[in-house]
């Protein structure tokens, strides 16, 4: 470790870092704009100046940009040097000559990186007497607002949008002091990662338009660490509430999972919590007054729960606590997944593979660090967007790593590495049913029927491991692709294979496994990632429960079944006729859900439950990482509690045994772990609910939370007692421990002098590294080093059958989500329902593109 | 001066003065929300007064009109909590919130000390005439176009390469 002297104090720092990273990692406040831990340095903003001295005798030193200098042993620098300080203050003063007088009406205010740095450098009064430059704005769609006057030309936006995320429609235009960051003309930003601009841009040029609809400053939000609900990756988010409404989602850094970025579905798809369509009343149907209060419901429940067969239908979008509570209520044998046979079968295969532990399943960070990626049949652009972003980083970083082998350049030197790497890329092979923007960076791509992609996979596996069978009757194209891909995978040291369930093909999963297992060797660490559909698909699959069809068979035999359905719109997952017949056979149907849907219409008893924002829950992501999502706020409507609390009360009714107190998520997880060894370790996912620091809770509100003696004064002038949280160490108030909380309990990132999200530097062990105390989440699958068990049966090539259609779902980032569609902007950007035919099929049917109606029987 | 012993030793009635106490304009009494010279609401819903308030007795919600002009959807002060420190006025970047030399606010019911925007808004610029935030701000919210503010250049023509 090199030793450097900062203002004459020696520090041990990590080699290969630049001085800015070294200073920030040591906790020294040094202002910066253009450097970003995920994107490296370009030295554009000149804000991070320090003095660098030749040796101990040198007293003059020279000003250098700390983000552009590597740490070196015995290097002497000064952050506090008056010259360096004056330089930094001057840079801000120059930037401010054109900065608008907007803070009061700027959505960035209070979480503004530019405000932080301005205060930090000491600039206060504008001495410049002349006029300010102005720009006109652009319409960028329903999700992102543009206010170009506020730009400080740091180039972070285009570096993120274009270089990091591969977007094309945002760019920098014009020249000299007129540079403009926007689109060629007004229009919706095309990248599904555009929302990150709101966090990447250090100013209020790009801001969250959905937040603007109910604008709240960062300091006024009640926040909690939560887990994104919109796909199986389980990105960590901070959810913020005010006045009983969920108001914003921002990224919650987790170095293993989402790092610094979210996709737009995750960031903006939160409005379902505030939807008019929420279930808010307990209902007992077929009565004159259907809406009933809790005691009435409780006195009614014994009639349907006692003396009848109770079956439970679980949910891939409900937390593991909720699913487990239902398993406890119905009994292990009477708990079903509420998913079709095929889906359960696919997910079971994945769980079997991962729990055998022969092949490592990678975190998103490990995917970023892969040096070759093969995607076999999964459209991750739409089903796991942040994974697509990670794959893109792997492609770019591998190219940069190749350059670094020839020219010794540090990894943070972004501009130089890009210049040298030019168009060269790491290896990516993208196989999916339809093309996606990932194809642009793929060295090899093929699109076709799932079975054909699986055959390609098996052929690759055969080339890698000749004990595995070759594919019969393989086409020349298949053989050629397989040859190319296998060669490239063999060159890699950390290849990653990605597959998933969205193509509905088990052969793809088997082929992906065979490839990964064949690649595994002493010098090559292969990894195998699977994508599942929902935020807790993995958790539900790990229960090993059987499918909906099995539940249907039960109700067809037994006329006396009370079905308890947990957060699952069966009509979304199964054909309507099967579901109809299920309901017609059930004696009583109890549905617990958050939003009205076709399934809730069938409920005899409907119970409203908390969403992720109103309740605690643990979700298991695609890599088997259990992560806790904490309740953000208490609904003014008391009835909205987590499903597991209702189910626990129902269990008490059934078994007539009570432990005399409410149940905590901790107890649920402990019980889960005891009853189901596959979940071993999950109870340690977060500190226990009675965890305190110096006797204090961790406040969900900032110390500048405003209005608490006035917010509800219109209803009653005496303030209500602060809400209590018995389930977690977090409090619903601004009182509590103000130091650094343990990583799973970070409700928001803030540090003295850093009101903006850049405060995250203070929470990390080193810039861009793990959070202090380790990133949150517990991985439930362990690598066992077991010998792989090979799969062999290779499917036949796909051949169309006369008069039959082969239907495949096409997932859409905006539109396929059950919950995200409740956000107006996302609904507006969702494509209309449509069917896509191959040109050949369309020609035989005499159809043209855009044909509006065709009846399918 | 009425000391404890004096109050026990003799009874006297003090008549309420009919004369108003003369108070300076800077006296910190009843809080009002003022209007800008054009008669528009001055408050831009920035939440700074609420953040500055040491007893947290200000609550509001910002919203926007069709031009993007931000204003408070509601604005509430709980005067039963207010300590008339004037921090809100200090914090206000638009001169919207001002303390006035009026202290005759007594009520029989505490609930009546909760003032909503309708109770706070006055039809005047108060102590600071002439200031219109939206003329100074960079964004255009229906008050002035981009580049038409007091200290602004015309918007950049991004197609031009001339200096
Ligand atoms: S970008 Fe920051 S400094 Fe600029 S107006 Fe907005 S809040 Fe103020
Ligand atoms: S728009 Fe924001 S991110 Fe882009 S250059 Fe300007 S200040 Fe930087
Ligand atoms: S990738 Fe998935 S988990 Fe991550 S933010 Fe997007 S929808 Fe949420
Ligand atoms: S500080 Fe002024 S402009 Fe801001 S919310 Fe308060 S009264 Fe309105
Ligand atoms: S952060 Fe170093 S020059 Fe911008």
CB distance from A289 to chain B under 8 Å? no
Q: In whole angstroms, what is the distance from residue A338 CA to residue A347 CA?
A: 13
Examine the pLDDT at A394 and tell me if it is beyond 80. Answer: yes
Q: In whole angstroms, what is the distance from residue A412 CA to residue A434 CA?
A: 35
3-state secondary structure of A640: coil
Question: Chain A residue closest to B48 (CA)?
Answer: A104
- Of A71-80, A347-356, A550-559, A721-730, the one with minimum mean pLDDT is A721-730
Average per-residue pLDDT in chain A?
Answer: 94
Measuring CA to CA, which residue among A684, A662, A663 is closest to residue A673?
Answer: A684
A627 C-alpha vs ligand 3 centroid, how far in Å?
14
What token pair was written down for A758? Answer: 């850049």
Q: What is the average per-residue pLDDT within A777-793?
A: 92
φ and ψ of A227, to 5 deg: -120, 135
φ and ψ of A208, to 5 deg: -75, 115
3-state secondary structure of A203: coil
A787 C-alpha vs ligand 3 centroid, how far in Å?
33
Question: Chain A residue closest to B49 (CA)?
Answer: A706
Examine the pLDDT at A61 and tell me if it is beyond 80. Answer: yes
Is ligand 5 within 6 A of the CB of residue A531? no
DSSP track, A615-640: S-EEEE-TTSEEEEE------SSTT-
Q: In whole angstroms, what is the distance from residue A41 CA to residue A62 CA?
A: 20
Give the pLDDT score at A792. Answer: 85
Cβ contact, residue pair A134, B147, below 8 Å = yes
A590 C-alpha vs ligand 1 centroid, how far in Å?
51
Is ligand 2 within 6 A of the CB of residue A154? yes
Q: In whole angstroms, what is the distance from residue A225 CA to residue A223 CA?
A: 7
Which chain B residues are Cβ-neighbours of A134 within 8 angstroms?
A: 138, 146-147, 149, 152-156
Which chain B residues are Cβ-neighbours of A135 within 8 angstroms?
A: 146, 155-156, 158
Examine the pLDDT at A640 and tell me if it is beyond 90. Answer: no
- Which ligand has its closest atom nearest to the C-alpha of A197? 2
Strand pairing class (B114-115; B70-78): antiparallel
pLDDT per residue of chain B (163 residues) written in tens, 0 to 9:
455 666 666 677 777 778 888 899 889 999 999 999 999 999 999 999 999 999 999 999 999 999 999 999 999 999 999 999 999 999 999 999 999 999 999 999 999 999 999 999 999 999 999 999 999 999 999 999 999 988 899 999 988 888 7
Examine the pLDDT at A855 and tell me if it is beyond 60. Answer: no
Give the pLDDT score at A384. Answer: 97
Examine the pLDDT at A174 and tell me if it is beyond 60. Answer: yes
Cβ contact, residue pair A105, B44, below 8 Å = yes
Interface test with B, best of A174, A706, A720, A733 (most B CBs within 10 A): A706
Examine the pLDDT at A363 and tell me if it is beyond 80. Answer: yes
Give the pLDDT score at A852. Answer: 59
Q: What is the average per-residue pLDDT within A643-665?
A: 86
Strand partners, A499: A530
Q: Residue A263: is it exposed, middle or buried by C-beta count within 10 angstroms (0-12/13-18/19+)? A: buried
Cβ contact, residue pair A135, B156, below 8 Å = yes
Give the pLDDT score at A671. Answer: 95
CB distance from A571 to chain B under 8 Å? no
Give the pLDDT score at A833. Answer: 86
CB distance from A97 to chain B under 8 Å? no
Instruction: Please name the residues in contact with A103: beta carbons below 8 A apart, sequence gap of 6 or more.
Output: A109, A112, A115, B46, B93
Q: In whole angstroms, what is the distance from residue A346 CA to residue A352 CA?
A: 10
What token pair was written down for A603? Answer: 């409920």
Give the pLDDT score at A381. Answer: 96
Cβ contact, residue pair A101, B138, below 8 Å = yes
Give the pLDDT score at A857. Answer: 44
Is ligand 2 within 6 A of the CB of residue A201? yes
Cβ contact, residue pair A180, B46, below 8 Å = no
Is ligand 1 within 6 A of the CB of residue A99? yes
What token pair was written down for A426? Answer: 């790491």
A850 pLDDT tier (thresholds 50, 70, 90): low
Q: How long a stretch of residues is chain B?
A: 163
Question: Chain B residue closest to A215 (CA)?
Answer: B62
A399 pLDDT tier (thresholds 50, 70, 90): confident
| CB neighbourhood size of A491 (10 A) | 11
Measuring CA to CA, which residue among A543, A551, A542, A544 is closest to residue A570?
Answer: A551
Cβ contact, residue pair A149, B136, below 8 Å = no
3-state secondary structure of A428: strand
Examine the pLDDT at A57 and tell me if it is beyond 50. Answer: yes
CB distance from A716 to chain B under 8 Å? yes
Helices A113-121/A82-96 angle, 10° precision: 130
Q: What is the average per-residue pLDDT within A132-143?
A: 96
Phi-psi region of A347 (alpha: psi -120 to 50; beta: other; left: phi over 0): alpha
Is ligand 1 within 6 A of the CB of residue A102? yes
Of residues A227 and A852, the one with the higher pLDDT is: A227
Q: How far is CA A493 from the centre of its chain?
A: 27
Give the pLDDT score at B163. Answer: 76
Strand partners, B31: B99
What token pair was written down for A394? Answer: 């792997």
Q: Which residue has the tokens 């905590």?
A: A664
% of residues, chain A, pLDDT over 90: 88
Examine the pLDDT at A403 and tell me if it is beyond 50. Answer: yes
> Which of A131, A180, A717 has its CB closest to that of B153?
A131
- Compute CA distances A252 → A21, A728, A844, A854, whole Å: 20, 19, 51, 46
- Compute CA distances A791 → A306, A456, A486, A525, A541, whole Å: 46, 14, 18, 20, 21
Is ligand 5 within 6 A of the CB of residue A33? yes
CB distance from A173 to chain B under 8 Å? yes
> Which of A136, A147, A173 has its CB closest to that of B155?
A136
pLDDT tens figures, A819-848 = 999 999 999 999 988 888 888 888 888 876
Q: Residue A6: is it exposed, middle or buried by C-beta count within 10 angstroms (0-12/13-18/19+)? A: buried
φ and ψ of A247, to 5 deg: -115, -25
Examine the pLDDT at A483 and tell me if it is beyond 60. Answer: yes
Give the pLDDT score at B69. Answer: 96
Examine the pLDDT at A337 and tell me if it is beyond 70. Answer: yes
Q: In whole angstroms, what is the distance from residue B149 CA to residue B140 CA?
A: 9
Contact A646, A607 (CB under 8 A): yes
Q: What is the average per-residue pLDDT within A371-383?
A: 96
Give the pLDDT score at A853. Answer: 59
Three-state secondary structure readout of A440-457 = HHCCEEEECCHHHHHHHH
% of residues, chain A, pLDDT over 70: 98
- Which ligand has its closest atom nearest to the C-alpha of B117? 4
Q: How many CB pairs under 8 A join A and B?
A: 138
For ligand 1, atom 3, the nearest C-alpha belongs to: A115
Taking only residues 238 to 267 of chain A, the set having a beta carbon closer than 8 angstroms to any beta carbon of chain B reads 243
Give the pLDDT score at A305. Answer: 94
pLDDT tens figures, A807-820 = 999 999 999 999 99
Alpha helices in chain B, H assignment, sequence order: 4-9, 48-52, 87-91, 117-120, 133-136
Q: What is the average per-residue pLDDT within A231-235?
A: 97
What token pair was written down for A454? Answer: 């699986």
Give the pLDDT score at A851. Answer: 60
3-state secondary structure of B99: strand
What token pair was written down for B109? Answer: 């019911």
User: Shortest Cα distance from B88 to chain A (angstroms)?
Assistant: 12
């Amino acid at each position: 470790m090199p030793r450097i002297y900062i203002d004459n104090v020696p520090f041990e720092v990590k080699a290969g870092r630049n001085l800015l990273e070294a200073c920030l990692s040591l906790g020294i406040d040094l202002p910066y704009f253009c450097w970003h831990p995920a994107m490296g340095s370009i030295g554009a903003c000149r804000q991070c100046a320090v003095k660098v001295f030749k040796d101990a005798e040198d007293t003059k030193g020279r000003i250098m940009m700390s983000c552009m200098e590597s740490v070196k042993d015995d290097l002497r620098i000064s952050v506090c040097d008056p010259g360096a300080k004056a330089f930094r203050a001057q840079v801000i003063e120059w930037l401010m000559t054109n900065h608008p007088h907007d803070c009061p009406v700027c959505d960035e205010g209070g979480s503004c990186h530019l405000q932080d740095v301005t205060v930090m450098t000491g600039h206060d009064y504008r001495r410049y007497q002349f006029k300010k430059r102005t720009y006109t704005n652009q319409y960028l769609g329903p999700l992102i607002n543009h206010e170009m006057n506020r730009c400080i030309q740091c180039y972070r936006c285009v570096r993120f949008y274009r270089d990091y995320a591969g977007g094309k429609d945002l760019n920098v235009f014009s020249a000299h002091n007129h540079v403009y960051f926007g689109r060629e003309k007004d229009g919706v930003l095309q990248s599904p990662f555009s929302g990150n601009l709101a966090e990447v841009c250090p100013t209020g040029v790009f801001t969250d338009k959905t937040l603007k609809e109910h604008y709240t400053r960062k300091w006024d939000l009640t926040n909690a660490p939560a887990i994104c609900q919109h796909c199986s990756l389980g990105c960590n988010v901070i959810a913020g509430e005010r006045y009983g409404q969920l108001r914003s989602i921002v990224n919650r850094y987790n170095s293993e999972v989402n790092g610094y970025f979210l996709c737009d579905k995750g960031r903006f798809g939160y409005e379902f919590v505030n939807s008019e369509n929420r279930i808010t009343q307990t209902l007992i149907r077929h009565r004159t007054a259907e809406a009933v209060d809790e005691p009435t419901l409780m006195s009614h429940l014994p009639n349907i729960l006692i003396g009848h067969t109770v079956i439970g239908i679980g949910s891939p979008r409900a937390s593991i606590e909720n699913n487990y509570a239902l398993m406890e209520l119905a009994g292990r044998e009477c708990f079903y997944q509420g998913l079709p046979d095929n889906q359960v079968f696919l997910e079971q295969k994945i769980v079997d593979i991962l729990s055998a532990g022969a092949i490592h399943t990678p975190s998103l960070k490990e995917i970023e660090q892969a040096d070759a990626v093969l995607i076999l049949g999964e459209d991750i652009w739409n089903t796991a967007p942040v994974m697509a972003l990670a794959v893109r980083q792997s492609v770019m970083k591998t190219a940069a790593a190749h350059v670094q082998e020839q020219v010794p350049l540090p990894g943070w030197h972004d501009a130089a590495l890009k210049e040298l790497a030019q168009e060269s890329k790491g290896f990516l092979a993208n196989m999916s049913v339809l093309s996606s923007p990932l194809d642009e960076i793929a060295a090899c791509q093929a699109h076709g029927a799932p079975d054909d992609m699986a055959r390609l996979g098996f052929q690759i596996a055969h080339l890698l491991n000749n004990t595995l069978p070759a594919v019969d009757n393989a086409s020349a194209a298949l053989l050629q692709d397989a040859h190319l891909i296998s060669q490239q995978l063999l060159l890699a040291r950390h290849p990653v294979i990605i597959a998933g369930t969205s193509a509905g093909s088990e052969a793809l999963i088997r082929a992906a496994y065979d490839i990964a297992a064949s690649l595994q060797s002493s010098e090559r660490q292969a990894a195998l990632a699977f994508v599942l559909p929902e935020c807790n698909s993995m958790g539900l699959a790990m229960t090993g429960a059987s499918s909906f069809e099995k539940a249907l068979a039960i109700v067809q035999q037994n006329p006396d079944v009370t079905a308890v359905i947990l957060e699952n719109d069966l009509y979304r997952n199964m054909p309507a006729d099967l579901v109809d017949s299920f309901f017609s056979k059930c004696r009583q149907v109890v549905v617990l859900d958050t939003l009205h849907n076709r399934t809730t219409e069938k409920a005899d008893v409907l119970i409203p439950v908390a969403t992720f924002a109103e309740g605690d829950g643990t979700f298991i992501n695609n890599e088997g990482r259990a992560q806790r999502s904490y309740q953000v706020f208490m609904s003014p409507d008391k009835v909205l509690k987590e499903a597991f609390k209702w189910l626990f009360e129902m269990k008490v009714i059934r078994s007539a045994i009570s432990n005399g107190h409410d149940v905590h998520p901790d107890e649920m997880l402990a019980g889960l772990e005891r009853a189901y060894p596959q979940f071993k370790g999950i109870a340690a996912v977060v500190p226990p609910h009675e965890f305190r620091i110096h006797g204090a809770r961790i406040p969900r509100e900032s110390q500048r939370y405003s209005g608490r003696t006035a917010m509800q004064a219109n209803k009653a002038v005496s303030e209500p007692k602060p809400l209590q949280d018995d389930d977690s160490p977090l409090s619903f108030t601004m009182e509590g421990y103000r130091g650094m909380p343990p990583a799973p309990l970070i409700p928001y990132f803030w540090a003295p002098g850093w009101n903006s999200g850049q405060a995250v530097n203070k929470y990390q062990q080193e810039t861009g590294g793990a959070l202090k105390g380790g990133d949150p989440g517990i991985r439930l699958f362990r690598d066992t080093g077991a010998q792989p068990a090979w799969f062999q049966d290779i499917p036949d090539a796909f051949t169309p059958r006369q008069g039959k259609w082969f239907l495949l779902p096409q997932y859409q980032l905006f539109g396929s989500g059950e919950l995200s569609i409740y956000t107006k902007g996302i609904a507006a950007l969702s494509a209309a329902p449509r069917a896509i035919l191959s040109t050949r099929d369309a020609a035989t049917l005499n159809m043209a593109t855009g044909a509006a109606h065709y009846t399918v029987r | 001066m009425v000391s404890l012993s004096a109050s026990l030793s003799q009874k006297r009635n003090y008549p309420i003065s009919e004369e108003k106490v003369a108070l300076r304009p800077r006296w910190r009494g009843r809080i009002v929300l003022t209007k800008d010279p054009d008669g528009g609401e001055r408050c831009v819903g920035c939440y700074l007064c609420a953040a500055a308030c040491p007893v947290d007795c200000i609550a509001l919600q910002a919203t926007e009109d069709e031009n993007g002009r931000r204003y408070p959807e509601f604005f509430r002060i709980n005067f039963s909590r207010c300590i008339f420190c004037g921090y809100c006025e200090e914090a206000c970047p638009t001169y919207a919130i001002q303390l006035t030399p009026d202290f005759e606010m007594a009520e029989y019911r505490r609930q009546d000390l909760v003032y909503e925007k309708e109770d706070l808004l006055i039809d005047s610029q108060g102590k600071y005439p002439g200031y219109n935030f939206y003329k100074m701000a960079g964004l255009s919210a229906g008050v002035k176009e981009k580049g038409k503010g007091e200290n602004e250049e015309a918007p950049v023509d991004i197609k031009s390469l001339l200096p």
